[in-house]
Amino acid sequence: MKKKVRLIAINVFVLILLLSLSMILFFFYSKHQINSFFEIKNPNHQVYIKKDSVAMFVHLPNIKIYENWGTKNQKLTKKRRTNNLGFREDKDITTKIENEYRILVTGDSHTDGSVKDNDSTFVNVLEYNLNAKNTSLYYNCINGGTAYYTFRNYYGFLKKYLYLKPDVYIINVFTGNDFRETILFEDDRTSLNNVYKYSYNKTRRKFYNKKQKDLINNQGTEQTLYYSYFNTDKNTSLLLSKKYLKAIKSICKANDIKLIITLLPSKMEVRTDYKNSLKSAFKLSENEINTNSELTTNLKKWLIEENIFYLDLLEPLKQSNKKVFWDHDHHINTHAHEIIGRYLYSNLDFN
């Protein structure tokens, strides 16, 4: 009997040891993945972005990349072109001329633009409409949208390019994942707590059923699912978001820059049918499926308190009778960029 108990004890010990070793290895593997992203180790990233000490990362300058992607019914040849400073513009940035009114715009990949040409981004649609007016000013709208950006990047981006002397700074906040990413972009991103949550979130995806996998996409849904697992992180995300926006407000005030926030919703906020499909597939509660809207509402209230001007882009996108997101990856499409550019032109006063 004693031998049997001893054998069981040894097996349990070995099992615990193996599980512990597996967890340790998995921790360091996940930590390496996080660090690799922020060190720009991915070859796909290296051809378009580079590490930066202020903005964390920025576009490489003078890039010309042609990509063909899409679905069977939606195909796009995308020209990724950047100018001398790495902005998504065809024209180089030079010394500010006397009658130039400079509008610096930033945001994540939605602002960078999944469109064929630079002229099709909402930033350049806005510029075209502004300059079509009979005016003595030359409006120069500069698209500094960069994939993966969130609030910390928006702060660093302004600091980095403050020397360009913008008259206006527009931040296009993507409410579909900017909040979740605030935590991941902090310096403690590889703490035990954060690595565990990162790993858990990534592991859960591997066990989704076919229906869930067909619906899931990083553009909006990942944030909702993340907070359904880690609900208390919503407050942390909001605090970080507000911290960086407050710092941006101070810089703008000190440099006489008009600050404007635009709030870009994800597909689930625009398309009720898609939202209901997600709710059903992942068995989410009403509160969980409305997480993105809750976070946006909270931020809007704070922006009003801080006297920071904002525009919510939800309604103009919802009113469209055409698709405003690509089926391929749920980024806003060319039609959406046109809607947003015209909406900003009609609702912004730069006087």
On whether both 96 and 30 belong to a single domain, the answer is no
Q: Tell me which residue has tokens 């400073």.
A: 85
On whether both 20 and 95 belong to a single domain, the answer is no
Per-residue pLDDT at 305: 98
Question: Kind of pairing, strands 56-59 and 49-52?
Answer: antiparallel
**Residue-by-residue pLDDT tens, the chain, 351 positions:** 666 667 777 777 777 777 777 778 878 888 888 999 999 999 989 999 999 999 999 999 999 988 776 677 777 777 789 999 999 999 999 999 999 999 999 999 999 998 989 999 999 999 999 999 877 899 999 999 999 999 999 999 999 999 999 999 999 999 999 999 999 999 999 999 999 999 888 888 888 998 888 887 667 788 999 999 999 999 999 999 999 999 999 999 999 999 999 999 999 999 999 999 999 999 999 999 999 999 999 999 999 999 999 999 999 999 999 999 998 889 999 999 999 999 999 999 887
Per-residue pLDDT at 206: 87
pLDDT tens for each residue of 162-210: 999 999 999 999 999 999 999 999 999 999 999 999 988 888 888 899 8
pLDDT tens for each residue of 67-108: 776 677 777 777 789 999 999 999 999 999 999 999 999 999
On whether both 50 and 33 belong to a single domain, the answer is no
On whether both 29 and 90 belong to a single domain, the answer is no
Q: CB atoms < 10 A from the CB of 227, how many?
A: 21
On whether both 217 and 257 belong to a single domain, the answer is yes
Q: How far, in Å, CA of 256 to CA of 263, rounded?
A: 23
Q: Which residues of 141-163 are buried (b: 16+ CB within 10 A; e: fewer)?
A: bbbbbbbbbbbbbbbbbbebbbe
On whether both 260 and 319 belong to a single domain, the answer is yes
Helices 233-254 and 151-160: crossing angle in degrees, nearest 10, is 20
On whether both 190 and 141 belong to a single domain, the answer is yes
On whether both 319 and 256 belong to a single domain, the answer is yes
The DSSP-derived string for 61-111 is SS-EEEEEEE-SS-EEEEEEE--TTS-S-SSPP-SPPTTEEEEEEEESHHH
On whether both 117 and 63 belong to a single domain, the answer is yes
State the CATH number of the domain containing residue 337.
3.40.50.1110
Per-residue pLDDT at 210: 87
Q: How far, in Å, CA of 272 to CA of 264, rounded?
A: 16
Q: How far, in Å, CA of 33 to CA of 31, rounded?
A: 5
| Structural domain boundaries, residue 8 | 1-39
Q: What is the CA radius of gyration of the chain?
A: 23
> Strand, helix or coil at 52?
strand
On whether both 25 and 118 belong to a single domain, the answer is no
Q: What is the pTM of this model?
A: 0.93
Count of structural domains, the chain:
2
On whether both 148 and 268 belong to a single domain, the answer is yes
On whether both 175 and 52 belong to a single domain, the answer is yes
Output the six-digit token pair for 275.
Answer: 């939202």
Q: How far, in Å, CA of 96 to CA of 220, rounded?
A: 37
Per-residue pLDDT at 1: 65
